[in-house]
Amino acid sequence: MNRYLDIKPEVAQALAEGRPVVALESTIISHGMPWPQNAETAFAVEDMIRAHGAVPATIAIIGGRLKAGLEKDEIEYLAKKGQAVTKASRRDLPVLCARGEDGATTVAATMIVAALAGIQVFATGGIGGVHRGAEVTMDISADLEELARTPVLVVCAGAKSILDLGLTLEYLETKGVPVCGYQTDELPAFYTRVSGFGVDFRADSPAELAAAFAAQRALGYPGGMLCTNPIPEEWSMDPAVINAAIDQAVAESVEQGVKGKKVTPFLLARVKELTGGDSLQSNIQLVLNNAALAADTAAALCKL
């Protein structure tokens, strides 16, 4: 086992016994939502995974230790500390470990720690991708590169709709990452169920999704797989409303010179303000929906 890695005993036992485990990121706790909704959501997501017969493993860096599974007080610590915690991607892990510091893991960093711990399935809200205007800024999330190199199945509600979805799909295609639509032929757009872009293949059950990922592993592919799971219909937002809010938020971020790691938290917070908080409720519901599917898929994977 990696010398910087701590696996929560409950998670380690489940892995040793061949029982389903689902990884969860921690950036959504520190940077994705305000206190106390962030902690409440984190606990609700873990409860959802348990209700579907799997063991949750929320991932973070605490005191320089890579944590595969957090205790309740550790989740509350990250939630209260909020954006004061480093938003940690692949490039940040060595420094945080060496310095004994804390970090909330992005999709990319969560995939790395999950793979180190032997966890194959990971549930999140939405992945990062190619940002709007990337042909000038070159702002492309490390999440896409991680999907191309780390063997983890990521269940999400699509790429965040603040991104350029067409270019994000093109990037994933170039990297050879299979993109699945769960019970849909169209890429969901995070807050909404439709985007106008197609996916590589459709899976209509957790067993079908698990079989595709197991085949990918058996073929020896180096990377992962992306499953895009549409937000529940009752929580889907009006595309015109959410797109107008996103366009305004993006314009404001450019005007204010927001760059790098600060872009996504800024846009999500501004969209929440512009939609009167509706986007936050939609965000919470889609994460719960993804957790349920991830747990069912992890259970199906254990049977193969």
Catalytic-role residue among 67, 87, 160, 272: 160
Q: What would the two tokens of residue 304 be? A: 């193969």
**88 beta partners:** 105
Burial class (CB in 10 A: 0-12, 13-18, 19+), 243: middle
Provide the 8-state DSSP code for 29. I
For the question of residue 25 being annotated catalytic, the response is yes
Burial class (CB in 10 A: 0-12, 13-18, 19+), 219: exposed
CA distance 203 to 196: 18
Calculated CA dihedral for residues 292, 76, 278, 83, nearest 10 degrees: -120
Answer for the pair 121, 21: CB distance below 8 angstroms, yes or no. yes
DSSP strands (E only) in 134-285? 153-156, 179-182, 201-203, 225-228
Catalytic-role residue among 25, 46, 76, 146: 25
Which residues are tagged catalytic?
Answer: 25, 160
